[in-house]
Structure 1
Amino acid sequence: MPLVARRTMLRIGAPIAILVVVGAVLAGRELTSTAASAAALKAAAPVATVPIEAATAQRSDVPVYLTGLGTVQAQNTVTVKSRVDGQLQAVSYQEGQDVTAGQVLAQIDPRPFQAALDQAKAAKAKDEAQLTNAQLDLQRFENLHQYATVQSVDTQKALIAQIQAQIEGDQATIDNAATQLSYTTITSPLNGRTGIRLVDQGNIVHATDTGGLVVITQLHPITVIFTLPEENLPDISAAMAQGTLQVFADTRGDEKPLDQGTLTLIDNEIDQGTGTIRLKATFPNKSNTLWPGQFVDAKLLLRTQHDAVTVPATAVQRSQDGLYVYVVKPDGTVDTKPVDVDRIADGVAVIQQGLEAGDRVVTAGQYRLQPGTHVEIREAAAASRPAAAPGA
């Protein structure tokens, strides 16, 4: 290359090289300043917290319930029927009325039955008069024993015995007629409540009618028939041997308390089709909260577990490794803790192992948590004071 051309390139390249070096130095200073600013901002920023709800694990006495579907049945149900044929003259009750044993419900025309009774009484009076005359004749025969034959005396005695038998038959006829007459006044056989009237006044009723006049159900006391799995039978039998077991009737779904009673019967066989055992409980039903045919949840109080650790059921989480809870640590962070749950029912979990009374557990907001996350307890859950809860 000519010397003149080489000198020309050197004059042009030197300023460019200087510019490149100066630009690199300035870029390095800008990057250093930006990194320092970011580090300062990061150090000044507050630690992010996750809002949660929490509750405190507590020790309490927890009743253990066995819950089954039950059907309310009346203690006694009677279909009142007529025992004689006749016209229904009067109906003395109102539909849905509470009646007592012996209270008059209806009246059947009594005139034919009264006439039959009067006829039976007249027949007895006639036979009694004949008996009196026969006894006088026997007395005359005995006084004239020198003139009366033995045969005539014996015949007279036989006649007296015959008339006496007729009188006894007359009395039986009178009793039957009086009984039939009493059937014309229909009374309630028990204390209970009447249903819908089945026969109206003025109709002819018969003793062979299948429908009856009205149905009366006894509501006080009342019973509930419910079922439980057969594997619960040994525990129930052992508990019954210790004393009377309490049963609580709740409405289906919302578990509204209805009444409290006692277990009175375990059925004498297990249903092989369903593998369940039937039980019967009796309730006083003073407020008429139980009604025949009603479906209820029957909760049998089997025993009471004392000094158990309980938390709200929402605190218990499930993973592939088992059950766990998020525990709030004193520094405001959370950590996971595996637990053994005895049972969960009615929104309360009974912890067998893993927690102690006083531990704070997260009851809502777990989906945003991981071990070490800072949390803020916004509002304590209503279940932070877990009540005694039933277990299935």
Structure 2
Amino acid sequence: MTDISTDYERLRRATVWTVAGGVGLPWLGMLGAATNRVQPAVWQVVAAATVLVVFSFFYVRGARIMVQGEYARREVIITGALALLVVVLMREQFVVGAMSPVAWIALAALNVSRTTAALLGVGMAAVCVALSPMGVVFYVLMIGLVGWLSRFQFWFWTVVKAAHDGRDAKAKLAVTEERLRFSRDMHDIVGHSLSAIAVKSELAARLASGEAASEMMEVRRLARESLKEIRAVVRGYRTVDLNAELHSVRAVMEAAGISCALELPDDGLSEQVSTLLAWLVRESTTNVLRHSAATSCRIKVVTGAGAVELTVSNDNPRPSRGTAGTGLAGMSERVTALGGVLTAGQSDGQFVVRARIPT
């Protein structure tokens, strides 16, 4: 059986080199200059080749950043400026200069919206036409076509990456759920038994005398110590890291086709408050997945004025059935136990869950 992780890593490397392969276009243009009847001056060739070396370095680095899921803003700006410099240097050699902007749009159009990609393409084409008016049709067609093809090829990678990240996030959530189930069962079963042993041994000590009484009191002490240790272990199992939970939830959301924006707190939170917020985030986003047709979700955590406020909002909520779910009731109980307030309901086409907890 093929290892999924191995296939994923192979696809990631293949995508990096496919994106980075666009850097070869201007070099092919340089080779094409040898067939032109009007040969460029030696200094032009040397200068253009030097610029393309720097262009290639930042282009490949930008490709790696893009595949990681970020936008390589600095690399896009640098390669864009260098591409225009090649156009200026090789103005008489139209094909040589034209390939650099075409290669640039293949990188710049990734990890941005369609509108942004279109604006980048139009802007680059306009500047190139101003520098070299003879290439109007070429620039418009090639920049548009290459930009679209690059985005289409990269789209396949983003779909696979979202599915892979969502699978990992779901696995982590499943492990967390099992840990919580284990801690709950341990507390309920073993904790109850140890409490009963402690009470019974204390009663036996009162009824007994001498050495038997002291031995029963020792049994009582051991039972209470064991109960204390089990509660400490259970507390550790029930502690959930807020930041890890937020990023796991975002991965699950995006795997389900829901864009998820996060605003995380700058200040550190206590373990108790952080764990509660993680529970609220999990329950709220579960409701988003089950009880809405959401396309976007926003999770915001703000601290200040002696309190922390969590807001989870999503679009396209389904009509209320008139009764509050057990999830919301459970969240409200947890928040109230810490002296906080929880509200939930529809507002301006959004379903908003807001919890304010004293810190």
TM-score range normalised by the length of the shorter chain: under 0.3
Q: Give the alignment's TM-score, normalised by structure 1.
A: 0.22
Higher RCO structure (Cα 8 Å, ≥6 apart): 1
Bigger fraction of residues in helix: 2
The structure that has the greater radius of gyration is 1
